[in-house]
A = this chain, B = another copy of it.
Amino acid sequence: MEKPIIEIVDMIDTSQVYGELSHASSGGICVFVGSVREFTNNEEVVSLEFETYAKMAIKEMEKIAMEASNKWALHKIVVRHAVGVKNVQEPVVVVGASSAHRDDCFEACRFLIDTLKQKVPIWKKEVFKNKSVWVSAHP
């Protein structure tokens, strides 16, 4: 597999990810994009604020990409997360993989986003009209 593309960025450009994942031996590319939802539990979200411990986040994302490339036959992997203030409908994360057959890229893509959410030191604050909340901080 080629070296995975692992990045923390200010803005995600969703149009570039296919070029990054495309490969002559790949018949399939699966991509997941996470974006800011207008409502959380029926409360209107003004924006999300993402903060990260960048050095460690990159290391953890690299580990996740390596784990995916050991589990499935992949050609390329992208794991990219945005930080800063994001408004409704803006992309905040994009993960994807390419593979000869579609089983591998689908399963790997799901693994990438699920594991990123569990392990990568990135924190999200939901900003509502009258309050703001660090997501998942409290039970």
Using Cβ atoms and an 8 Å threshold, which residues of chain B touch A84? Answer: none
B26 touches A35 (CB 8 A): yes
Interface size on A, residues (CB 8 A): 31
B32 touches A89 (CB 8 A): no
A34 touches B24 (CB 8 A): no
**A32, chain B: closest CB distance, angstroms:** 5
A91 touches B14 (CB 8 A): no
A37 touches B27 (CB 8 A): yes
Tell yes or no: A121 within 8 A of B by CB: no
B37 touches A22 (CB 8 A): no
Q: Mark A85-126, 1 if CB is under 8 A from B, else 0.
A: 000110100000000101001100110010000000000000
Tell yes or no: A132 within 8 A of B by CB: no
A interface residue numbers (CB < 8 A to B)? 14-15, 18, 22-39, 88-89, 91, 100, 102, 105-106, 109-110, 113
